[in-house]
Copies of this chain bind each other. A is one copy, B any other.
């Protein structure tokens, strides 16, 4: 297709594209090309297929993006330093049904809805795309703050990986960064860890802890927590735990009876 000359460079949030165990080098190259078409540069590959001449050919003038891609061995490594983790899936209905039974609400957005949500935010958004054969696993999706899905025809919903990526980049290209600093991933992980401890110390049924934690992650994902809010919540939990601890060790001198 001829050059799309109606272009401008914009300040946008930093998008990190994470391909989880991609199987075909042609797709990896095509994703790199689509990234550069929309001004995105940070590509991370988790245990990728080997990338040789065909992958580079498909990247076309985005060889630089492909060659600069960081290769890692685990998803956790790929997500270091990210403020928000967004998973992509086509399992929406299925997943929703599974989660509905568990009383969890999965915030599954359209690409346009995701773009609107990120408008005005500052930070690094990791966008996860799964392998060509089965997409992201449920374990992968469980660590995502948000989940995005492209509405397609029921008759043939299985999209090519790079087509799905191009549509997401197209929508995210319009997003302009702003002054609202998203919570750091480290703060969110700490919050989850402290929340788990709080549940355990409060005698919350052990078999419900994991699901309640996942629910919290979804709620916080939808809430688009800022760093300041995350720190405040950490303070609240610390206070509650301290209070519970002092109650258990008997009334403290300053407690009125």
- Asked if A157 and B90 make an inter-chain contact with CB atoms under 8 angstroms apart, the answer reads no
**In the complex, what distance in Å separates the CA atom of A108 from the CA atom of B6?**
10
Task: Say if the beta carbon of A155 comes within 8 Å of chain B.
Answer: yes
Query: What 1/0 mask marks residues of chain A from 141 to 165 whose CB sits below 8 Å from any chain B CB?
Result: 0000000011111111111111110
CB distance from A139 to the nearest CB of B (A): 14
B-chain residues with CB within 8 Å of residue A93 when the two chains form the complex: 5-6
Task: Say if the beta carbon of A37 comes within 8 Å of chain B.
Answer: yes
Interface hit among A70-78, A166-174, A204-212, A233-241: A166-174
Contact of A7 among B1, B8, B153, B160 (CB under 8 A): B153
**How many residues on A have C-beta within 8 angstroms of the other chain's C-beta atoms?**
55
- Asked if A39 and B153 make an inter-chain contact with CB atoms under 8 angstroms apart, the answer reads yes
- Asked if B1 and A158 make an inter-chain contact with CB atoms under 8 angstroms apart, the answer reads yes
Interface hit among A126-134, A177-185, A243-251: A126-134
- Asked if B159 and A37 make an inter-chain contact with CB atoms under 8 angstroms apart, the answer reads yes
Task: Say if the beta carbon of A136 comes within 8 Å of chain B.
Answer: yes
B-chain residues with CB within 8 Å of residue A154 when the two chains form the complex: 5, 7-9
Contact of A167 among B30, B151, B152, B167 (CB under 8 A): B167
- Asked if A152 and B129 make an inter-chain contact with CB atoms under 8 angstroms apart, the answer reads no
B-chain residues with CB within 8 Å of residue A89 when the two chains form the complex: 2, 4
Contact of A92 among B6, B37, B60 (CB under 8 A): B6
CB distance from A46 to the nearest CB of B (A): 15
**In the complex, what distance in Å separates the CA atom of A154 from the CA atom of B3?**
9
Chain A residues numbered 207-237 whose CB sits less than 8 Å from any CB in chain B:
none
Task: Say if the beta carbon of A188 comes within 8 Å of chain B.
Answer: no
Known A38-B152, A153-B38, A167-B166; judge A159-B1 contact (CB<8 A).
yes
- Asked if A152 and B90 make an inter-chain contact with CB atoms under 8 angstroms apart, the answer reads no
